[in-house]
Structure formats: structure tokens, C-alpha cells
Structure 1
Amino acid sequence: MDMTIVSSREGGGRLNYDASSLDSLYRGRLVELRELAESRNISKGGSVEVLRARLIRNLVLADLDLSWDGIQTMSHNELGGILKVFGIKSSGSQRERRQRLWLHLNFDSRRMTIERLAEMDRDDLHELCVRLEAPLTGNRTVLMGRVAGVLTNQLNGWGRIKKSLKRNGINFSLGSVENEVLSNNEEEFEPVDADFHSDSPIAVIEDAYDSLILGLDTLEPVIQEDLRTVSAFVEDLDRIIGTILRGSGGAWGESQKELLLRLSKRRGWPVNEE
């Protein structure tokens, strides 16, 4: 049974996979997965989850470039669809999705721990920072802290498939297949427990930017220009709106909107009040 997920790659590329094969990999036990790997000349080493990810990569998604460079070229929606195929958390910003996919493909979550980082030298930590898109400056302790921050943020999001998939596999009813296809095509946002007294998490800022530019080339030129202008000031807008909300106790109305417009004009931003 083939299942097709429409990706957002330019050129109308599609992500195709055999749902029956994927289902058997979700349900497979270590002995069964090792036998399958051996029959396909694929390395059978590692834990059951490491082996499962390797088999999905090589047998289900063999046509995709899942190297680090390949992952960097993937769109927000495409990353979400691929993470779902691997059976792990698929939400988050584009950077978080890239980080999670790369970790899932290259490490055992039981061994890639903060304690393990303490045993690494600076060069290894620097390389991890490169792959996890973290800042590269600082001594060994600083770099270790940055990698540890990513691992903490990604905790329980990678390294093992969801329990429901391991227990039940894929539901092959027509409705469930259609819903799976649709859910992989839709933008996915998780509700954020926001506190306007604190700075917004980086993931929220990135999601705001991604949502502004998503599908930009399909809109009218005037709207494209407006959205590009707004997207260029996302971080500044977040700080200004946060300041206004703190001053109003979280309330937002006409007076807060007028204050936002005045502050925007003072910064020299192009503002049209119509």
C-alpha cells in the first residue's frame, strides 16, 4: 500500500512511501529488524530504535537525501512530514525540526546525554554545535552548555517512535490514511504557554517568521512586499508588543494598537493606518 505526502519542495516534489513496509517497521521487534537488515545488507548494530530509524531511512525513504546538507535544504512542512514518517515529534520551528531529524538519524538517545557531553573534547563539541546550528564561539564549557541546551529542548522528541505506533502501527482505514496525508501537508503549530512578562522563546520567533513567508510567492506582489517588511521586524515587533502588554497588564485594545503604530513610526518603519 503506497501512501503519498505532498511536500513543499520547489518543482512539486512528492514524498512517497510504502505504508505497509513502514507499519511492519513500527511494530517490528529487535530480532525481526536485525533479520531484515541482514537480508538487505544494512548494518544491524545498535539498539532497536537506532536500527528502526536506519531501516526507515534506507528502505522507506531511500530516495531522500537525509545527510546534514540535505536536511538543510528541506522546507518547514517537508521536515514535519519526514519526522512523522520516522514516528517522532514533528512540531516546532524549522530549526528545531532540522535538529531533531539530524539527532534521530545519527545518535542513540539513550547514550547522547549531558553526561556524555562532559567526556567530549572541544573539537567534538564544536562539530556538534555546527550540526545543531548553535553559536560556535567560546571555550569547551560554553560549547558544552549550548549542546546541552539543544538536547534539553529536544528531550523526548527523538530517539524512539511514539508508543501508539509501536503498539498499533498504522491504521489502514481510508479515513485515517487521508487524514495522515492532510496532516502532513498542513502547517502544524503547538499552543505555547506564553508569558508576556518574559522574552518569547526563539522557537516562537522562528515560527512567526516562517508563517509570514510561507507560500509568499503565491500572493499578489503588494502583499508579498508588505509581508517581507513585517517579517524583517519580527523580533523587534515581539519586544515592542511585549512591552505594551506588560504596561497594560496583558490587555490589548485600540489604545494599545495606537501605541504600537506610534512606536513603529518613531522607528521609521513604513506604516499605513488604513
Structure 2
Amino acid sequence: MGKTHECDRSWGQAITNTPSGEVQRGSMQVDSGLLSSLYTDRLQKLRERAEGCGIPKSGSVEVLRAKLICEEVLPDLDLSWAGIQAMPHKETGDVLKVFGVKSSGSHKERRQRLWLHLNYDSRRLTIERLAEMGRDDLHELCKRLELDLTGNRTVLMGRVAGVLTSQVNGWGRIKRSLRRNGLQSPIFDAPQAEEADEITVVEPVRDVDFQAMPTKAVIEDARDSLVLGIDEQTAPVQGDLLTIQARVEDLERMVGTILRGHGGVWGQAEKEVLLRLAGRRGWPLDEQFVRHRVLMVATNIAEVKGAAMDASSIRAEISEDTESTIERIRSKLVKVESLIPDDDA
């Protein structure tokens, strides 16, 4: 849904020279009155605006609204993929606010959300539709969403599905309050607190950096453990696990945040917090097997990070086959033996 026609820049001049309702944020200038009308206008009115602006009037109401905001409200802002990549974290959030969609999240999440909103119809780009895409299309999506480009078609599809799941309801449709009432106050009148996960932070019981950068081996082990024995599960469970596998780095960060906020302890309460946070991010956790697998992998991550494990965390979250259990014990014994000094030394 990229811009295909240059809009008449007289629209931009009208914005710049409007003394009332104009709000400036750094180098960004926004006409609040014009923006509010774009939020509330119906499809027919938006099509008339598009025709007057010289841009295609095809597409859904939300697609057309985003095009018009690009051309009428932000005519001088580079909203190409390269332009989005060059935006600072704060500016990306401000631009998302102008488009009327969710503006919180990490810098990468904001870039992904903005690019999706400007280039796709959320009703068409769904997880179900990914199954109809070829590898080349999925590869291009992974590239634009800043994902790993290696792997077969199924792996690429899982990565894109992970992004779509985490970004669900965050793009493709402006907030309902804006659609009904428009802007009730200047969009940048006062800094708004970003959405945050409510975790009460206390001092860790030990001097451990639970949010230190994980090793590549830890991430790879977590990624492999998530899909262990996946072929024996139903198609919905397989899809859910592949979706979560694409977000394994986020899982590691959530575990670290919870440990930091709970004094380095990992137990049942911390697991419940993890499930709430993951659910809030739109992770597919309806299946009990999926929840158990996520908690098992999260517990392993917490143990590697040096968490104080309670009795409930020592028990396995799901039954694993005997060979994998023996192999895990054997590898740990080898590691322990390597730490014991030789008596003959």
C-alpha cells in the first residue's frame, strides 16, 4: 500500500500555514483539525478527498485513511522502508500516534507496526493467508520486518506469524475513540506515558544481572526445545508453537524482567506473571500443551540465568521422552565432572 502518486503540495502548505490547531513536535507539524476530520470521515468522503488529492481511491476505509494521512498530514515525511528505518525511537512513536494506532513498544516493534500499517490491509494480511504465500513473498516479508532470512518456507512463515501475532490489533485500524469522536485535544499536547507491564521491582536477592545478553546457545536451545516433538501434535498446536518460536528472544527478555522484579526467584507466581504478559502480547496460549511447553522452556531459561528455583519449578512442566531426559542428565554430568579438580593434579 505504498504511495503511488505525489499529492499536490498545496495541502502541505495549508498545514504549515494554519495558525490554529497546528501542533509542532520537533520538525513534525500536524494540523489537528484536518487530522481529526480524517479520523471521522466515512469511506465516500475519504474517496472524494483522495480524488481531489490525486491519489488512488481504491482500498478499504482504513487503507484509504492511511494514504490520506501520508499525503495531507505528513506530506514531507519520508515514510518509505528506508525512511522508517532511519527514524529515532521517539519519532516513530509520534508518527504512529498521528496514524491513530498503537504507539508503544520497542523501537523494532514500532518500525514493524508502522511499515505494516502503511503497506498492508490488516484484513488481508492474516496468519491464515500466510499459508497461501510462496517462499519468495515470505522471504520479502521477513526482510521488511527485520527477521532472520534463513530457513525453509515453513520456518519463514512461522517468523512472520510471530510478528502478526504480537502486533495483533496494533495496526490496520485506528482506535475506536478516534473513529467515533476524532481528536478531543491536541495530539502532542502533553507527553503520554507509554504502556508498560506492571511489575513491581525489588532488589534481587543476589548480585546477578538477569537481563544480561543471553548467549547464542541459550537462545538456540530454547528455540529447539519449544518445537521438540512437534510432529506428534495437532496442527493448531504446531502452528501455535511455531508462532511462539519466532518470539523466543522476547520470551527470554520477559523471563529476565520478571526475575529482576521478583528478587531473582522463579516459581509458580512468576510463571503466572509470564503467562499474563505473553497473553497481553497476543501469544497463542489457548492450548494446555502450548502453555506447558512455554513454561518448561521459560523455567530452563530462568535456571540458566541463575534464578532461585522453588520446588514447583524443579518438576518438569510436561512429560518428555526418556531418551531426551537421559541425554540432558548426561550432558549436565559431563559439565559437573569438568568442574571437579583432578585428585592427582
TM bucket, shorter chain: 0.5 to 0.7
Q: Could you list the per-position Cα deviations for residues 69-118 of structure 1 after superposition, in whole angstroms to 9, with x for gaps in the alignment?
A: 00001111111100000000001111000000000000000000112111
1:190 to 184, 189, 196: 196
Alignment of 1:2-13 (within 5 A): 2-6=22-26
Cα deviation for residue 189 of structure 1 reads 4.5
Aligned pair count reads 203
Asked if the contact 1:96–1:203 (Cα under 8 Å) also holds between the matched residues in 2, the reply is: no
Q: 1:200 to 1:72 in 2, by over 3 A?
A: closer
Q: 1:73 to 1:248 in 2, by over 3 A?
A: farther
Asked if the contact 1:79–1:97 (Cα under 8 Å) also holds between the matched residues in 2, the reply is: yes
2:58 to 45, 55, 62: 45
Report the residue type matching 2:197 in the other structure. P
The match for 2:13 is none
RMSD of aligned residue pairs (Cα, Å): 2.9
The match for 1:268 is none
Higher RCO (CA < 8 A, seq sep 6+) = 1
Asked if the contact 1:5–1:181 (Cα under 8 Å) also holds between the matched residues in 2, the reply is: no
Unmatched runs of 5 consecutive residues or more in structure 2:
1-20, 201-209, 211-221, 223-247, 258-300, 313-345
Report the residue type matching 1:55 in the other structure. L
SS in 1 for 2:25: strand
In structure 2, what is the Cα distance between the partners aligned to 1:107 and 1:38? 21
Please tell me whether residue 99 in structure 1 is matched to residue 107 in structure 2. Answer: no
Asked if the contact 2:46–2:64 (Cα under 8 Å) also holds between the matched residues in 1, the reply is: yes
Unmatched runs of 5 consecutive residues or more in structure 1:
7-13, 209-237, 250-274
Percent identity over the alignment is: 57
Question: What is the TM-score normalised by the length of structure 2?
Answer: 0.54
Asked if the contact 2:96–2:114 (Cα under 8 Å) also holds between the matched residues in 1, the reply is: yes
Please tell me whether residue 180 in structure 1 is matched to residue 188 in structure 2. Answer: yes
Report the residue type matching 2:102 in the other structure. K
In structure 2, what is the Cα distance between the partners aligned to 1:134 and 1:200? 12
In structure 2, what is the Cα distance between the partners aligned to 1:56 and 1:123? 31
The match for 1:244 is 307
In structure 2, what is the Cα distance between the partners aligned to 1:144 and 1:193? 33
Q: 1:145 to 1:63 in 2, by over 3 A?
A: same
Runs of 4+ displaced beyond 6 Å: 238-241
The match for 2:85 is 72
SS in 1 for 2:93: helix
SS in 1 for 2:189: helix
In structure 2, what is the Cα distance between the partners aligned to 1:36 and 1:203? 47
Q: 1:74 to 1:191 in 2, by over 3 A?
A: same
Asked if the contact 2:39–2:182 (Cα under 8 Å) also holds between the matched residues in 1, the reply is: yes
In structure 2, what is the Cα distance between the partners aligned to 1:183 and 1:202? 29
